[in-house]
Amino acid sequence: MSETFDEATTLKRRTFVAASTAVAGLPLLTSDRLPAAAAAAASTAAPTPADQLSTVRLTVNGEQRTAKVDNRTSLLDLLRERLDLPGTKKGCDQGACGACTVLVDDRRVNACLTLAVMHQDARVTTIEGLARGEQLHPLQQAFIDHDGLQCGYCTPGQVMSGVACIAEGHTGSRAEIREWMSGNLCRCGAYTNIVSAIEQTAKEA
């Protein structure tokens, strides 16, 4: 009795997940036990209507890039999913953590909060565009020197925000650096070392 109940429950749960995933337009891993109807529904999600698509042209890390995207696509998803630049991280996806920070026309932006279509012909710099070949950007090297990272997930956003912080001239004191970097969260708590890395780079600039 218990086995029959568990089997039925599992099947219903998988059917629900399959249907929900199909509606959301998300990829789905199927198995032999997944009902054929649910698998078919997942694979036949309606395409985005042509009037909801736009061609976006950007200069990303010095290179001209073009992509046709749904008008609702965030700059973050364009960079990660369409332009194969996964260095910019998706954290909270609500603009609260700063993991997705990039530079747009030399200003720091939370890429998860802005639509790609809003930045036609803009210049975008991601973490992949800071180094020059094998030579790291001075702030990237400073993060290593000061051990300004632990798990590393927030590091790309921290570095990009730090580059902007220096360019904006908000490095007069450690307190000022902390204030202007407050939009970037580090769950590992490497804040002291991050401030030291930015402070050092600003002095050497």
Which residues is 110 bridged to in the sheet? 101
pLDDT the model gives residue 24: 45
Residue 130, CA distances (Å) to 62, 77, 97, 160 in order: 10, 20, 21, 9
pTM: 0.77
Tens of pLDDT along 8-54? 444 454 454 444 444 444 444 444 444 555 555 545 566 778 779 99
Place of tokens 């696509």: 73
Q: Comparing C-alpha atoms, which of 121, 87, 129 is closest to residue 105?
A: 121
- Which residues lie closer than 8 Å to 2 by C-beta, 6 or more apart? none
Residue 130 CA to residue 139 CA, distance in Å, equals 9
Tens of pLDDT along 77-128? 999 999 999 999 999 999 999 999 999 999 999 999 999 999 999 999 999 9
Tens of pLDDT along 146-180? 999 999 999 999 999 999 999 999 999 999 999 99
In the structure encoding, which two tokens stand for residue 97, read together? 């953590």
pLDDT the model gives residue 205: 84
Residues shown for the chain:
205
Average pLDDT, the chain: 86
